[in-house]
Amino acid sequence: MSTFDYDLFVLGAGSGGVRAARLSAQLGLKVGVAEGDKPGGTCVVRGCVPKKFMVYASEVPEQVAYARGFGWEAQTGRFDWTKFRNANLAEVSRLSDIYAANLVKAGADLIPAWAKLTGPHTVHLTPTNGDAPYEVTAKTILIAVGGQPFVPEAVEGHELAITSNEMFLLDKLPKSIAIVGGGYIAVEFAGVMNGFGVDTHILYRGDQILRAFDQEVREHLTQEIGKKGIKVMCHADPKKLEKTDKGIKITLTDDTELTVDQVLYATGRRPHTEGLGLTDVGVELDGDGAVVVDAYSRTAVEHIFAVGDVTNRCNLTPVAIREAVAFVETAFKDNPTAYDYANIPTAVFSQPQIGTVGLTEQDAVARGIRVDIYTARFKPMKTAFVAGESRTLMKLIVDHKTDVVLGAHMVGPDSAEIIQMAGIAVKAGLTKAQWDVTCAVHPTAAEEFVTLRDKRMA
């Protein structure tokens, strides 16, 4: 009989923690999960899910404009932010309840409490209902607490800014907003706010938004969102925020000034490791506070593991889930399993969307791989019919020597849906010739991926 209260104790009920807990409980293990907030984690509660609903809502004016182009007498009417916000939060609560129910159905104990480690096998729990704190022991511990947004304290007046967490809770929509940052979150919220009719600015300190994405993709999206009215300012780094009668005045490092109603900081996320007592029990953290793990998600302490954003390896919900599956195989099924991070497809729900998988052109050049580049730019049928301006970009990166498709990139409607299927082909290592002999589905945008002919060298 075990001398521990639990075979596995999980800190955090996000996507990674829940998957690990459910699979472990289904093996007959005694599993406990501590979560001080709503189950579901960042993705379900304050991330990709409620944000996707915001994207859907913000796309309606453009859809109505298309409707008029197709002959419908359509008008957008007035957008009720409060009604949408409340419905969005209600849906988040419903999904969170499902996460909780699935944990319980699997046989795990879901404990509404904040947790920290006070010993190698001891977890200190502070219940959220005000009950007295207590401790439990566990043979194996999994850290799956995710990350959190932040506003740099070095910026004077930083307390005037909000993060992505607060975007879902706004009392009302601002008339204007400055979004500081140039990654997924910044670009997605820019599209949302612009769609809601908010005067939207992106302030990014680098040369171009979406660092690490393919250069042509970055350029193309910048052009497309500019057509929609989003103002992108690069080499723009705030040094001071100041409340004035007209709003929040932003002073940049070059002394340029901009006044808006709201400032959103979307400059990244930090692993949520502060106050967990990890280093006290021997768990190593890197300079950013992320838990250091090996290929099998094991920390410096043999029986303590970590998955998801808290490790800062590849901060995507589906990756956290795959890491959790690999953890269960490693820790409890005597089958050491390391997740393969190569060729992970991903999407940015910008407007238009980005879908991408595999190497960028710049990646290939940096690695010394001789590649052929295939690209197409075109107006989608729907856009062309209504005399719209937006154009789609599709791009393939192909190994010149082996003909293997090393990367696929798209900017345009339905890119997220299309890249999922393209991701299978890139992951499988299929050649350009195999893409080419695949029959096109006509008329679609996706068919361009199997009809690309014109090429250039990288």
By annotation, the residues acting in catalysis are 442
Residue 183 backbone phi and psi in degrees, to 5:
-100, -165
Closest CA to 369 of 410, 345, 395, 398: 398
Closest CA to 38 of 146, 186, 142, 136: 146
Say if residues 432 and 455 touch (Cβ distance below 8 Å): no
Cα separation, 166 vs 138, in Å, equals: 35
Residue 64 backbone phi and psi in degrees, to 5:
-65, -40
Say if residues 110 and 35 touch (Cβ distance below 8 Å): yes
Cα separation, 416 vs 186, in Å, equals: 18
Bridging pattern class, strands 113-119 and 122-127 = antiparallel
- Tell me the one-letter amino acid at 279: T
Cα separation, 247 vs 225, in Å, equals: 25
Cα separation, 86 vs 53, in Å, equals: 12
Element housing 60 (H / E): helix 60-69
Closest CA to 35 of 164, 138, 143: 143
Tokens of 275: 């106050």
Say if residues 331 and 140 touch (Cβ distance below 8 Å): yes
Q: Distances from the Cα of 35 to the Cαs of 38, 40, 79, 280, 444, in angstroms?
A: 7, 9, 35, 21, 45
Tokens of 312: 């800062």
